[in-house]
Amino acid sequence: MAGLLDPTHWLALDVALTVVVAWLSVAVLGLFALRRLGWVAKVLFPAGGAIALLLFAVALVALFSAPQTAVLPLGLPGLPFHLRLDPLAAFFLMVIGAASAGVSAFAAGYFRKGEGTPPGLLCLEYHLFIASMTMVVLADDAYTFMVMWETMALSSFFLVIANHRIAEIRQAGYLYLLVAHVGAIGILLCFGVLQANTGDYTFANMRAQRLTPFWGSVAFLLALFGFGAKAGILPLHVWLPEAHPAAPSPVSALMSGVMLKTAIYGLLRVGFDLLHVQLWWWGVLLLALGLASAVFGVVFAAVQVDMKRLLAYSSIENIGLVFAGIGLAVLFSAYGMKPMSALALTAALYHVAGHAFFKSLLFVGTGSVLHATGQRSLGKLGGLIRYMPWVAWLTLLGTLTSAGLPPLAGFVSEWLLLQSFLFTPGLPSSFLNMLIPVVAALIALVAALSGYTMVKFFGVIFLGQPREENLVHSHPAGTWERVGMAWLAAGCVALGLLPVQFIQAIDPVTRQLVAAGLGSTVAASGWLLVPVDIERASYGPVVFLLGLAASFALAFALVRRLYHGRLRRASPWDCGYPWQTARMQDTAEGFGQPIRQIFEPFFRMQRELPSPFDREPRYRVVVGDHFWDWLYRPVADLVERMSRWIGQLQQGRIAVYLLYSFLTLVGVLIVVKR
Amino acid sequence: MSVLGSLSQLLEIVVALLLAPLLVGWVNQWRAWLQNKSAPGVLQPYRVLHKLFNKESVLAQHASPLFRSAPYIVFSCMLLASAIIPTLSTDLPLAPAADAIALVGLFALARVFISLAAMDVGTAFGTMGARREMLIGFLAEPALLMVLFSASLIPKSTSLATIVETLAHRELAIYPSLAFAGVAFTMISLAENARVPVDNPATHLELTMIHEALILEYSGRHLALLEWAASLKLFAYSCLGLALFLPWGVAEAHAPLELVLALPVLILKLALAGLLLAEKETANAKMRIFRVPEFLGTAFLLAVIGVLVHILLGA
Amino acid sequence: MSQLAGQLINLFAAVILMLAFAMLSQRRILSLIHLFTLQGLTLAAATAVVGYVTAQPHLYLSAGLTFVLKVLLIPMLLHRMIERLDVRWDVEALINVPTTMLIGIVLVIFAFNLAEPISRLSSSIAGGTLGIALACVLLSFTMMIIRSKAVPQVIGFLSMENALFFAATSATTGMPMVVELGIALDVLVGILILGVFMFQIREQFDSLDIRHLEKLKDN
């Protein structure tokens, strides 16, 4: 920290800290302009976005330099903040910076009128949220980490209940806070195990410890529990589909796109950096949990009728895929197959970056739709491509990326992940060798089903005919909203077309974690992505896109030249039934019906079927989650029973309370006597 | 990127464009003969394309630019797919840009765009077709991926050129995993190309349509491009099957003479494949729509077993 | 030449597994009998090839016996039986085909895993196919369990015997002739008795659904 006032000697870590301070000042400024929407929306949020871009740039620089540490004398006396900026942290800072830049730009145009919380307060909470996420990633000791983790949880809680006048939103916020704290206990206990009785909670000390396999497994399982609760892995996922839709759209975008990634960061930090030896069954456990979450998430997403809930379940699916990739990396690392581990880890990290961009893009797109139409339910939307063209076309890019289609970002991570599965027949255990193709098949199934879900999402909202009359009055998005969405869409496209460059950026991270990386192999082939050997596998997204574009242009030009381009407009084919209405298109339930039928055991469905004798027949189906009945209600009942049993201590009579004090005193005297 | 490579690539694209409608005509011809009907001639698809291109295109009033550009996008996807599958030669400059997994992604891209275009007009037929097409897609795509996996485990590569070269060079070897993969691939091709027993390409009854429901709103040059794209898809799938399971006769790099021979061999193999397809379509009845997930689920599981058998037997 | 023979045996093993799976998912009884016939044919061919490679002439005899019994005699008996029982075009409902196939995959993985250390020790040319044979046994057993009509259960029993025979051929060099003849006789007699049984069930309950047999319980 020496030479702080001399800019030429600033390290990347100093710049990152400046970014945090800048965000905090923006937050405080928001507090002073509590109800002045214009000032908050047009000045403060764009400023926050520009600061995020600075973070992105400095993290990119830090990725290729040596780790830097700092000790800040904040916090309690004797417990200063230790901070560290190494490649792993730098990668996640890049993700945070880039995604928040786009979301902040969008938020500048989004917060139009007061929605229960004054805009200045929203600005405070928002910037506190992203500043605390940055500090979580920079933290180098358990104390800093937990303080910043709590700040992150609290600020996001207040953001989730921004519309606190609605009871459902308050309940969603409560559930979110509850699960976040249950997870935090797990993380705290994990740090307790990692410091191995030395009393020194810095990560540097934890790195120096050599835990026995038993205690290492305990630490890993606790970390999995704690970070898994934050990431939304089965079975601790129930808060995600409630909290993400309840929050305002920019906040949902940040939570899904960025906050879930801090949980991944935590798992990587504990699993690979602080724990030196990985065991094979950790990898299998991660793989199993990740796959279960992925399948569960996508199956539920396919049957949702609320657009934000659909995206929330889709986030569960994507995080599940990331966990599966990390599990595979742990498995390979446990058997000493470092290059394969690097491949799987690269796939997981690529998906982390891609998901941050496309999920944020999709959420802010729904934000624009919500603002323009006031509807969240898919059954009341439709045909918006005509009234909101910018939002529609940019959301189309996000949809295609989410479906994992070439040449965009989602395909690259899926390609890398499937490539890492192909190399697995080299594992020593034959049982694992046989499970791996089944796992690869499940991942392919998840990818195909996410395509189904995304077609439903885009088609029901933007295509077709409007299902309600007032939709024709929807206004298109404003400039700031377009800027934010365009930035995020550009990220999706860039990640899809330039995989070689991005893998070279991920290379320092995998080198730090598993001591191997794809950077050198990949750099040798220029525009073509060749992870191992050009004979084995290769993928060239730019050539791919150029090929498609060239045939498109050629077909268009030739048809126009040789034939003609005459066009006539008429009404659509009605098969002789002229009274077609917009209600006769597929609804969201209808589109999800095949999935409901095929995957019936997954759901707890409540159906209300009409009978021929009803005056006003009604059909209603509510698709619920079994986990409430299997896990949460029994646990809640148990907690309630235990607390009632302990509550018997509260007798209400003073004599009894005095008796308690007397017994405690006698007990202490007996113990002291020994 | 040699001259011979570029020549074989160009030749493949031209051959695909020209022969695909002929393949469809051949299959229809045989189907008619096997059912004791008289057929309109093998060149009928060309006449249909010419007629459609000359016609005016009628669009729904509220169709968006997505609807208008989807036929071109689908056509480009199918053309690119035919260009990267080693039909005539394995020395293709475009092939390193897309391996087997990217090929599956390419088919998925076309499927997503045609489904979105079908949903664009907002009638019951279009959305029903889109839902059914995505249903078939979500089961057929992983099955196809697993088939390509089992084929790629033998040469340990997902590059189609390497797979074909390796399989063509092993002495007459029988791979049990490829037997499973072959059965699964046949089932998947039938589903993806909208053939009996999954979908009837000649039906116009709304309750039984899948592919026809997707292209119901199109007319004129757009419909012509979509019909051509569908025949290119059938051509691509047949060539993929021939490349994986009957790879002999495909030319390789530095062998210009083989390129000349490859074309007649391809035509012969395609003629046989077309005949088999017509026989299968005639002998089977169309399945009810809700049996289709079972059919494709069986294909998927057979492909997975193929991979498992490879791991067990090492072949 | 012996390499080709080894690959042929592997191929036949794969075909037998495929047929076992097809039988598991097949609904129509007539198709089941056709698949069973095909399985018997493949089995006979595989035994003949093993006999050729290991130069054991008594395996040719087993192949011939299998052919006569499993491809000609028993299918003929089964055809006659279903004609007289009038279940020729019967289609029965299973538990959900995808679920059965998933159970099948799990059993296949289990069997492959179990057989791997044993097949490494085997000296026979077809050692790698022990896992497949074991998988077929488990699949046929599953078929017997989940079917609700009598005729498919019988076919499941016969198919299990097929798979056991194949397992014996692949793991060792075939069973002693005496054992084989004994087993063949047992199977034939078993079929005849089961046939009589099915007529009795039909007479008693007017249907071949074995769930009716639960009525015989002592309550």
State how far the alpha carbon of A593 is from the alpha carbons of A222, A314, A321, A463, B137, in Å. Answer: 39, 18, 25, 19, 15
Q: What is the mean pLDDT of residues A348-374?
A: 93
Q: Between A and B, how many residue pairs show a Cβ–Cβ distance under 8 A?
A: 248
Residue numbers in C near A435 (CB within 8 A): 109
Residue numbers in C near A600 (CB within 8 A): none
Binding partners of A (≥3 Cβ pairs within 8 A): B, C
Contacts of A579 (CB under 8 A, 6+ apart): none
Residue B189 to chain C, least CA–CA distance (Å): 19
pLDDT at B69: 93
Task: Kindly determine whether residue B298 and residue C101, on different chains, have CB atoms separated by under 8 Å.
Answer: yes
Task: Kindly determine whether residue A535 and residue B307, on different chains, have CB atoms separated by under 8 Å.
Answer: no
pLDDT at B171: 62
Among the partner residues A406, A444, A570, nearest to B142 by beta-carbon distance: A444
Among the partner residues A543, A570, A591, nearest to B61 by beta-carbon distance: A570
3-class DSSP string for A528-552: CECCCCCCCCCECHHHHHHHHHHHH
Q: Which residue of C has its CA nearest to B314?
A: C128
Among the partner residues B75, B109, B142, nearest to A555 by beta-carbon distance: B75
- Residue A123 to residue A23: CA distance in whole angstroms: 10
Task: Kindly determine whether residue B131 and residue A590, on different chains, have CB atoms separated by under 8 Å.
Answer: yes
Among the partner residues A415, A440, A543, nearest to B94 by beta-carbon distance: A543
Task: Kindly determine whether residue B308 and residue A403, on different chains, have CB atoms separated by under 8 Å.
Answer: no
Among the partner residues C18, C105, C128, nearest to B313 by beta-carbon distance: C128
Contacts of C182 (CB under 8 A, 6+ apart): none
> Best mutation site among B180, B305, B310, B311 for testing chain C: the one with the most C CBs within 10 Å?
B305
Task: Kindly determine whether residue C113 and residue A598, on different chains, have CB atoms separated by under 8 Å.
Answer: no
Q: Say how many C-beta atoms besides its own lie within 10 A of residue A472's C-beta.
A: 11
Residue numbers in A near B210 (CB within 8 A): none
Which DSSP letter does residue A518 get?
S
pLDDT-derived band at A2, boundaries 50, 70, 90: very low
Task: Kindly determine whether residue B60 and residue A460, on different chains, have CB atoms separated by under 8 Å.
Answer: no
> Best mutation site among B150, B175, B301, B304 for testing chain C: the one with the most C CBs within 10 Å?
B301
- Residue A420 to residue A415: CA distance in whole angstroms: 9
Task: Kindly determine whether residue C128 and residue B172, on different chains, have CB atoms separated by under 8 Å.
Answer: no
Residues (pLDDT < 50) of chain B are none
Residue B191 to chain C, least CA–CA distance (Å): 17
Among the partner residues A536, A549, A567, nearest to B156 by beta-carbon distance: A536
pLDDT at B173: 66
pLDDT-derived band at A1, boundaries 50, 70, 90: very low
Under 8 Å between Cβ of C88 and C30? yes
Write A166-173 long-range contacts (CB < 8 A, 24+): A168/A246, A169/A246, A171/A242, A172/A239, A172/A242, A172/A243, A172/A245, A172/A246, A173/A243, A173/A246
Task: Kindly determine whether residue A430 and residue C113, on different chains, have CB atoms separated by under 8 Å.
Answer: yes
pLDDT at B260: 80
Residue numbers in A near B73 (CB within 8 A): 548, 552
Residue C112 to chain A, least CA–CA distance (Å): 9
Task: Kindly determine whether residue B312 and residue C11, on different chains, have CB atoms separated by under 8 Å.
Answer: no
> Best mutation site among C95, C105, C113, C118 for testing chain A: the one with the most A CBs within 10 Å?
C113
pLDDT at C121: 67
Q: Comparing A148-152, A251-255, C7-11, which segment has the lowest mean pLDDT?
A: C7-11
Task: Kindly determine whether residue A538 and residue B142, on different chains, have CB atoms separated by under 8 Å.
Answer: no
- Residue B277 to residue C161: CA distance in whole angstroms: 36
Mean pLDDT by 10 residues, chain C (219 residues): 76 89 82 91 88 79 85 87 73 68 84 76 64 88 80 85 82 66 76 78 73 69
Task: Kindly determine whether residue B305 and residue C108, on different chains, have CB atoms separated by under 8 Å.
Answer: yes
pLDDT at A122 over 50: yes
Binding partners of C (≥3 Cβ pairs within 8 A): A, B
Residue B154 to chain C, least CA–CA distance (Å): 14
Task: Kindly determine whether residue A575 and residue B73, on different chains, have CB atoms separated by under 8 Å.
Answer: no
DSSP per-residue letters across chain B: --HHHHHHHHHHHHHHHHHHHHHHHHHHHHHHHHTT-----TTHHHHHHHHHHHSPEEEETT--HHHHHHHHHHHHHHHHHHHHS-SSBS--TTGGG--HHHHHHHHHHHHHHHHHHHHHS--HHHHHHHHHHHHHHHHHHHHHHHHHHHHHHTTT---HHHHHHHHHHSSS---HHHHHHHHHHHHHHHHHTT-TTT--TT---GGG-SHHHHTTT--HHHHHHHHHHHHHHHHHHHHHHHHHH--TT-B-TT-HHHHHHHHHHHHHHHHHHHHHHHHHHHHSPPPPGGGHHHHHHHHHHHHHHHHHHHHHH--
- Residue A121 to residue B247: CA distance in whole angstroms: 68
pLDDT at A622: 83
Q: Between B and C, how many residue pairs show a Cβ–Cβ distance under 8 A?
A: 63
Under 8 Å between Cβ of B64 and A463? yes
> Best mutation site among C97, C103, C107, C112 for testing chain A: the one with the most A CBs within 10 Å?
C112
Binding partners of B (≥3 Cβ pairs within 8 A): A, C
pLDDT at A271 over 50: yes
Contacts of A174 (CB under 8 A, 6+ apart): none
Task: Kindly determine whether residue B179 and residue C14, on different chains, have CB atoms separated by under 8 Å.
Answer: yes
Residue numbers in A near C116 (CB within 8 A): 430
Q: Between A and C, how many residue pairs show a Cβ–Cβ distance under 8 A?
A: 10
Task: Kindly determine whether residue B156 and residue A422, on different chains, have CB atoms separated by under 8 Å.
Answer: yes
Residue numbers in B near A580 (CB within 8 A): 123-124
pLDDT-derived band at A114, boundaries 50, 70, 90: low
Q: Is the ipTM of this complex over 0.90?
A: yes
pLDDT at A616: 86
Mapped onto helix, strand or coil, the DSSP state of residue A398 is helix
pLDDT at A39 over 90: no
Q: Which residue of C has its CA nearest to A437?
A: C109
Among the partner residues A382, A535, A566, nearest to B56 by beta-carbon distance: A566
Residues 155-194 of C with CB under 8 A from B: none
pLDDT at A3 over 50: no
How many Cα atoms within 13 Å fall on the side-chain side of residue C81? 26
Taking alpha carbons only, the member of A165, A257, A567, A631 closest to residue B222 is A567
pLDDT at A153: 94
pLDDT at A188: 93
The pair phi, psi for residue A209, each rounded to 5°, is -75, 150
| Helix or strand holding residue A330 (H, E) | helix A307-334
- Residue A225 to residue A64: CA distance in whole angstroms: 32
pLDDT at A554: 92
Residue numbers in B near A586 (CB within 8 A): 119, 124, 127-128, 130-131
Assign residue B103 a region (left: φ > 0; alpha: ψ between -120 and 50; beta: otherwise): alpha
**Taking the complete model, does pTM exceed 0.95, yes or no?**
no
pLDDT at A4 over 60: no
pLDDT at A7 over 60: no
Among the partner residues B293, B301, B312, nearest to C131 by beta-carbon distance: B312
How many Cα atoms within 13 Å fall on the side-chain side of residue C211? 5
Residue numbers in B near C129 (CB within 8 A): 313
State how far the alpha carbon of A404 is from the alpha carbons of A109, A256, A416, B62, C30, in Å. Answer: 29, 18, 12, 29, 44
**Residues of chain C that touch chain A, judged by Cβ-Cβ distance less than 8 Å:** 98, 105, 109, 112-113, 116
Residue numbers in B near A552 (CB within 8 A): 72-73, 75-76
